[in-house]
Amino acid sequence: MLDEDEWTAAERAYEQRLDAWLVPHQQRRRAGVAHPVWDFLFSYYSQAPGRLRRWHPGVGRSLAGGTARARLDWPFYAELADGTVGLDVPAFLARRRTSAAWVEGLLSATAGRPAQFGCFGLHEWAMVYRPGAGGVRHEQLPLRLGQAGTDAVVEGHRVQCSHVDAFRFFTPAAVPRNTLTPTRDSQQQLEQPGCLHATMDLYKWAYKLSPAVPGELLADCFALAADVRELDMRASPYDLRPLGWEPVAIETPEGKAEYVAAQRGFATRGAALRVHLLDVCRALLDEAGRRTVGR
Protein backbone atom coordinates (compact mmCIF):
# COMPACT_ATOMS: atom_id res chain seq x y z
CA MET A 1 0.00 0.00 0.00
CA LEU A 2 1.31 3.45 -0.91
CA ASP A 3 0.18 6.33 1.24
CA GLU A 4 -1.16 9.43 -0.49
CA ASP A 5 1.98 11.56 -0.12
CA GLU A 6 4.13 8.71 -1.44
CA TRP A 7 2.15 7.88 -4.53
CA THR A 8 1.30 11.47 -5.51
CA ALA A 9 5.02 12.28 -5.38
CA ALA A 10 5.74 9.27 -7.61
CA GLU A 11 2.99 10.42 -9.97
CA ARG A 12 4.45 13.95 -10.24
CA ALA A 13 7.96 12.61 -10.86
CA TYR A 14 6.64 10.32 -13.58
CA GLU A 15 4.74 13.12 -15.32
CA GLN A 16 7.77 15.41 -15.25
CA ARG A 17 9.95 12.68 -16.70
CA LEU A 18 7.58 11.89 -19.57
CA ASP A 19 6.88 15.55 -20.31
CA ALA A 20 10.42 15.89 -21.64
CA TRP A 21 9.13 13.99 -24.69
CA LEU A 22 5.40 14.61 -24.55
CA VAL A 23 5.39 18.42 -24.40
CA PRO A 24 7.62 18.93 -27.50
CA HIS A 25 5.62 16.29 -29.36
CA GLN A 26 2.31 18.00 -28.58
CA GLN A 27 3.75 21.39 -29.55
CA ARG A 28 4.92 20.02 -32.90
CA ARG A 29 1.57 18.35 -33.49
CA ARG A 30 -0.33 21.60 -32.84
CA ALA A 31 2.01 23.38 -35.26
CA GLY A 32 1.64 20.65 -37.88
CA VAL A 33 5.37 19.92 -37.84
CA ALA A 34 6.50 16.33 -38.39
CA HIS A 35 9.65 14.90 -36.83
CA PRO A 36 11.28 11.96 -38.65
CA VAL A 37 12.84 10.53 -35.48
CA TRP A 38 10.51 11.16 -32.54
CA ASP A 39 7.12 10.84 -34.25
CA PHE A 40 7.80 7.11 -34.50
CA LEU A 41 7.31 6.82 -30.74
CA PHE A 42 3.74 8.09 -31.11
CA SER A 43 2.72 6.73 -34.53
CA TYR A 44 4.27 3.27 -34.89
CA TYR A 45 3.64 2.86 -31.17
CA SER A 46 -0.03 3.54 -30.66
CA GLN A 47 -0.21 4.67 -27.04
CA ALA A 48 -1.89 8.10 -26.94
CA PRO A 49 0.15 10.80 -25.16
CA GLY A 50 -2.61 11.40 -22.63
CA ARG A 51 -2.70 7.73 -21.65
CA LEU A 52 1.08 7.50 -21.58
CA ARG A 53 1.17 10.40 -19.10
CA ARG A 54 -0.98 8.46 -16.61
CA TRP A 55 1.08 6.96 -13.82
CA HIS A 56 -0.07 3.58 -12.50
CA PRO A 57 1.06 1.73 -9.36
CA GLY A 58 0.87 -1.60 -11.18
CA VAL A 59 -0.15 -5.06 -10.07
CA GLY A 60 0.43 -5.78 -6.38
CA ARG A 61 0.41 -2.13 -5.22
CA SER A 62 -2.56 -0.05 -4.10
CA LEU A 63 -3.21 3.60 -3.32
CA ALA A 64 -4.45 5.03 -0.04
CA GLY A 65 -6.15 8.40 0.44
CA GLY A 66 -9.19 10.18 -0.87
CA THR A 67 -7.47 11.42 -4.04
CA ALA A 68 -7.09 7.83 -5.23
CA ARG A 69 -10.85 7.42 -5.53
CA ALA A 70 -10.85 9.49 -8.72
CA ARG A 71 -9.22 6.48 -10.38
CA LEU A 72 -12.35 4.42 -9.88
CA ASP A 73 -13.50 6.02 -13.14
CA TRP A 74 -10.38 4.72 -14.92
CA PRO A 75 -10.39 1.36 -16.74
CA PHE A 76 -9.34 -1.65 -14.61
CA TYR A 77 -9.37 0.16 -11.25
CA ALA A 78 -11.46 -0.89 -8.26
CA GLU A 79 -11.79 -0.36 -4.55
CA LEU A 80 -10.00 -3.23 -2.81
CA ALA A 81 -10.99 -5.07 0.36
CA ASP A 82 -8.85 -2.84 2.59
CA GLY A 83 -10.45 0.34 1.21
CA THR A 84 -7.50 1.30 -0.99
CA VAL A 85 -7.70 1.67 -4.77
CA GLY A 86 -5.74 -0.53 -7.16
CA LEU A 87 -5.77 -2.80 -10.16
CA ASP A 88 -9.03 -4.68 -10.72
CA VAL A 89 -7.28 -7.96 -11.40
CA PRO A 90 -10.40 -10.00 -12.29
CA ALA A 91 -11.55 -7.37 -14.79
CA PHE A 92 -8.05 -7.09 -16.27
CA LEU A 93 -7.71 -10.85 -16.67
CA ALA A 94 -11.13 -11.12 -18.24
CA ARG A 95 -9.96 -8.83 -21.04
CA ARG A 96 -6.20 -9.31 -21.21
CA ARG A 97 -5.30 -12.78 -19.96
CA THR A 98 -4.59 -14.12 -23.47
CA SER A 99 -2.45 -11.09 -24.30
CA ALA A 100 -0.50 -11.39 -21.04
CA ALA A 101 0.21 -15.06 -21.75
CA TRP A 102 1.39 -14.29 -25.30
CA VAL A 103 3.67 -11.48 -24.12
CA GLU A 104 5.07 -13.71 -21.36
CA GLY A 105 5.85 -16.38 -23.94
CA LEU A 106 7.57 -13.93 -26.26
CA LEU A 107 9.63 -12.22 -23.56
CA SER A 108 10.61 -15.52 -21.97
CA ALA A 109 11.73 -16.98 -25.31
CA THR A 110 13.67 -13.83 -26.19
CA ALA A 111 15.38 -13.73 -22.79
CA GLY A 112 16.50 -17.34 -23.21
CA ARG A 113 18.16 -16.76 -26.57
CA PRO A 114 21.71 -15.42 -27.12
CA ALA A 115 21.94 -11.86 -28.39
CA GLN A 116 23.12 -11.36 -31.96
CA PHE A 117 25.13 -8.25 -32.86
CA GLY A 118 25.87 -8.68 -36.56
CA CYS A 119 22.95 -6.95 -38.24
CA PHE A 120 24.52 -3.42 -38.20
CA GLY A 121 21.10 -1.79 -38.57
CA LEU A 122 20.75 -2.82 -42.19
CA HIS A 123 16.98 -3.18 -41.78
CA GLU A 124 16.62 0.59 -42.34
CA TRP A 125 18.74 0.36 -45.48
CA ALA A 126 16.66 -2.56 -46.78
CA MET A 127 13.54 -0.39 -46.40
CA VAL A 128 14.85 1.99 -49.09
CA TYR A 129 16.78 -0.48 -51.24
CA ARG A 130 15.79 -0.07 -54.90
CA PRO A 131 12.43 1.43 -53.90
CA GLY A 132 10.85 1.45 -57.33
CA ALA A 133 7.47 3.15 -57.67
CA GLY A 134 6.88 3.11 -53.90
CA GLY A 135 9.44 5.84 -53.23
CA VAL A 136 11.53 6.36 -50.09
CA ARG A 137 9.81 6.21 -46.68
CA HIS A 138 11.17 9.49 -45.26
CA GLU A 139 11.11 11.61 -48.39
CA GLN A 140 11.89 14.79 -46.44
CA LEU A 141 15.31 13.40 -45.51
CA PRO A 142 18.09 13.01 -48.09
CA LEU A 143 19.93 9.72 -48.38
CA ARG A 144 23.43 10.26 -47.02
CA LEU A 145 25.07 8.21 -49.79
CA GLY A 146 22.44 8.79 -52.47
CA GLN A 147 20.30 5.99 -53.88
CA ALA A 148 23.10 4.24 -55.75
CA GLY A 149 25.38 4.36 -52.71
CA THR A 150 22.60 3.09 -50.46
CA ASP A 151 21.88 0.18 -52.78
CA ALA A 152 25.59 -0.68 -52.89
CA VAL A 153 25.76 -0.91 -49.08
CA VAL A 154 22.86 -3.38 -49.03
CA GLU A 155 24.39 -5.42 -51.82
CA GLY A 156 27.77 -5.48 -50.07
CA HIS A 157 26.46 -6.89 -46.79
CA ARG A 158 24.68 -9.93 -45.43
CA VAL A 159 21.20 -8.79 -44.38
CA GLN A 160 19.93 -10.86 -41.43
CA CYS A 161 16.93 -9.14 -39.85
CA SER A 162 15.01 -11.31 -37.37
CA HIS A 163 12.21 -8.89 -36.48
CA VAL A 164 8.89 -9.24 -38.28
CA ASP A 165 7.86 -5.60 -37.82
CA ALA A 166 11.08 -4.38 -39.41
CA PHE A 167 11.11 -7.01 -42.14
CA ARG A 168 7.57 -6.20 -43.25
CA PHE A 169 8.75 -2.73 -44.38
CA PHE A 170 11.51 -4.10 -46.64
CA THR A 171 11.17 -3.14 -50.28
CA PRO A 172 10.22 -6.03 -52.57
CA ALA A 173 13.75 -6.02 -53.93
CA ALA A 174 15.23 -6.36 -50.43
CA VAL A 175 13.02 -9.21 -49.20
CA PRO A 176 14.92 -12.06 -50.91
CA ARG A 177 18.22 -10.65 -49.65
CA ASN A 178 17.31 -11.32 -46.02
CA THR A 179 18.67 -14.57 -44.61
CA LEU A 180 15.44 -15.05 -42.60
CA THR A 181 11.73 -14.75 -43.32
CA PRO A 182 10.27 -13.58 -40.01
CA THR A 183 6.50 -13.82 -39.65
CA ARG A 184 4.07 -13.20 -36.82
CA ASP A 185 3.76 -16.95 -36.34
CA SER A 186 7.53 -17.36 -36.01
CA GLN A 187 8.09 -14.30 -33.83
CA GLN A 188 8.60 -16.27 -30.61
CA GLN A 189 11.09 -18.55 -32.40
CA LEU A 190 13.16 -15.77 -34.00
CA GLU A 191 13.13 -12.71 -31.75
CA GLN A 192 16.47 -12.19 -30.01
CA PRO A 193 17.61 -9.69 -27.38
CA GLY A 194 20.28 -7.95 -29.46
CA CYS A 195 17.72 -6.69 -31.96
CA LEU A 196 17.07 -2.95 -31.70
CA HIS A 197 13.42 -3.37 -32.60
CA ALA A 198 12.91 -6.11 -30.01
CA THR A 199 14.44 -3.76 -27.44
CA MET A 200 12.24 -0.84 -28.49
CA ASP A 201 9.21 -3.11 -28.35
CA LEU A 202 9.64 -3.54 -24.61
CA TYR A 203 7.84 -0.22 -24.47
CA LYS A 204 4.99 -1.67 -26.55
CA TRP A 205 4.55 -4.66 -24.26
CA ALA A 206 4.68 -2.37 -21.23
CA TYR A 207 1.81 -0.18 -22.41
CA LYS A 208 -0.14 -3.14 -23.78
CA LEU A 209 -0.15 -4.49 -20.21
CA SER A 210 -1.04 -1.14 -18.68
CA PRO A 211 -2.28 -0.41 -16.01
CA ALA A 212 -0.78 -3.62 -14.58
CA VAL A 213 2.73 -2.28 -15.28
CA PRO A 214 4.16 0.18 -12.71
CA GLY A 215 4.67 3.67 -14.10
CA GLU A 216 8.38 3.65 -13.31
CA LEU A 217 8.86 0.53 -15.45
CA LEU A 218 6.81 1.97 -18.30
CA ALA A 219 8.89 5.17 -18.21
CA ASP A 220 12.13 3.17 -18.26
CA CYS A 221 10.91 1.23 -21.30
CA PHE A 222 9.88 4.43 -23.08
CA ALA A 223 13.23 6.11 -22.36
CA LEU A 224 15.07 3.07 -23.69
CA ALA A 225 12.90 3.05 -26.83
CA ALA A 226 13.72 6.73 -27.40
CA ASP A 227 17.47 6.12 -27.05
CA VAL A 228 17.31 3.11 -29.38
CA ARG A 229 15.26 5.05 -31.91
CA GLU A 230 17.96 7.72 -32.04
CA LEU A 231 20.65 5.13 -32.81
CA ASP A 232 18.37 3.39 -35.30
CA MET A 233 18.02 6.58 -37.33
CA ARG A 234 21.61 7.75 -36.94
CA ALA A 235 22.71 4.38 -38.36
CA SER A 236 20.13 4.56 -41.14
CA PRO A 237 20.87 5.70 -44.71
CA TYR A 238 19.23 9.07 -44.01
CA ASP A 239 21.24 12.25 -43.42
CA LEU A 240 20.19 13.63 -40.03
CA ARG A 241 22.95 16.24 -39.77
CA PRO A 242 20.50 19.10 -40.49
CA LEU A 243 18.66 17.95 -37.33
CA GLY A 244 21.86 17.94 -35.28
CA TRP A 245 22.75 14.23 -35.34
CA GLU A 246 25.99 12.88 -36.73
CA PRO A 247 25.68 9.58 -38.61
CA VAL A 248 26.81 6.20 -37.38
CA ALA A 249 28.40 5.17 -40.68
CA ILE A 250 27.77 1.42 -40.54
CA GLU A 251 29.31 1.03 -44.01
CA THR A 252 32.73 1.59 -42.37
CA PRO A 253 34.60 -0.55 -39.79
CA GLU A 254 34.56 2.36 -37.33
CA GLY A 255 30.81 2.83 -37.74
CA LYS A 256 30.16 -0.87 -37.28
CA ALA A 257 32.16 -0.86 -34.04
CA GLU A 258 30.26 2.19 -32.77
CA TYR A 259 26.93 0.59 -33.64
CA VAL A 260 27.71 -2.74 -31.95
CA ALA A 261 28.97 -1.04 -28.79
CA ALA A 262 25.73 0.93 -28.48
CA GLN A 263 23.68 -2.15 -29.39
CA ARG A 264 25.32 -4.14 -26.60
CA GLY A 265 24.57 -1.42 -24.08
CA PHE A 266 20.92 -1.30 -25.11
CA ALA A 267 20.68 -5.09 -24.91
CA THR A 268 21.97 -4.97 -21.32
CA ARG A 269 19.42 -2.31 -20.36
CA GLY A 270 16.69 -4.22 -22.17
CA ALA A 271 17.51 -7.49 -20.42
CA ALA A 272 16.86 -5.93 -17.00
CA LEU A 273 13.56 -4.39 -18.12
CA ARG A 274 12.50 -7.65 -19.75
CA VAL A 275 12.91 -9.40 -16.38
CA HIS A 276 10.65 -6.84 -14.72
CA LEU A 277 8.01 -7.16 -17.44
CA LEU A 278 8.12 -10.93 -17.04
CA ASP A 279 7.52 -10.45 -13.33
CA VAL A 280 4.37 -8.48 -14.15
CA CYS A 281 3.15 -11.11 -16.62
CA ARG A 282 3.77 -13.93 -14.18
CA ALA A 283 2.09 -12.13 -11.29
CA LEU A 284 -1.01 -11.77 -13.47
CA LEU A 285 -0.89 -15.33 -14.77
CA ASP A 286 -0.30 -16.74 -11.28
CA GLU A 287 -3.40 -14.92 -10.12
CA ALA A 288 -5.32 -16.29 -13.10
CA GLY A 289 -4.16 -19.79 -12.16
CA ARG A 290 -5.26 -19.39 -8.56
CA ARG A 291 -8.69 -18.22 -9.68
CA THR A 292 -9.03 -21.20 -12.02
CA VAL A 293 -8.05 -23.67 -9.29
CA GLY A 294 -10.43 -22.02 -6.82
CA ARG A 295 -13.50 -22.47 -8.98
Question: Is residue 132's pLDDT more than 80?
Answer: no
Q: What is the pLDDT of the chain when averaged over all its residues? A: 95
Give pLDDT tens digits for 235-279: 999 999 999 999 999 999 999 999 999 999 999 999 999 999 999
Helices (H), the chain: 4-31, 40-43, 49-52, 89-111, 122-126, 146-155, 164-167, 187-190, 196-208, 215-234, 253-293
Angle at 122 between CA 134 and CA 236, to 5 degrees: 75
pLDDT(294) > 50: no
pLDDT score of 219: 98
| pTM, entire model | 0.94
Instruction: List, for residues 91-114, the tens digit of each pLDDT value.
Output: 999 999 999 999 999 999 999 999
Query: Is 152 a residue whose pLDDT tops 90?
Result: yes
Q: Is 140's pLDDT higher than 90?
A: no
Q: What is the pLDDT of residues 32-81, one digit of tens each?
A: 999 999 999 999 999 999 999 999 999 999 999 999 999 999 999 999 99
Q: Which helix (H) or strand (E) holds 35?
A: none
CA distance 287 to 24: 40
Q: Read off the pLDDT of each residue in 123-139 and give the average, rounded to a whole number.
A: 80
- pLDDT exceeds cutoff 80 at 224: yes
pLDDT given for residue 289 in this prediction: 59
- Residue 189's domain spans which residues? 4-293
State the DSSP H helix or E strand holding residue 245, giving kind and residue range, or none if neither: none
Question: Is 198 a residue whose pLDDT tops 50?
Answer: yes
Handedness of CA 196, 95, 59, 61 (dihedral sign): positive
Whether the pLDDT of residue 138 is over 60: the answer is: no
When divided into structural domains, the chain yields a total of 1
Whether 14 and 216 have beta carbons less than 8 Å apart is answered as yes
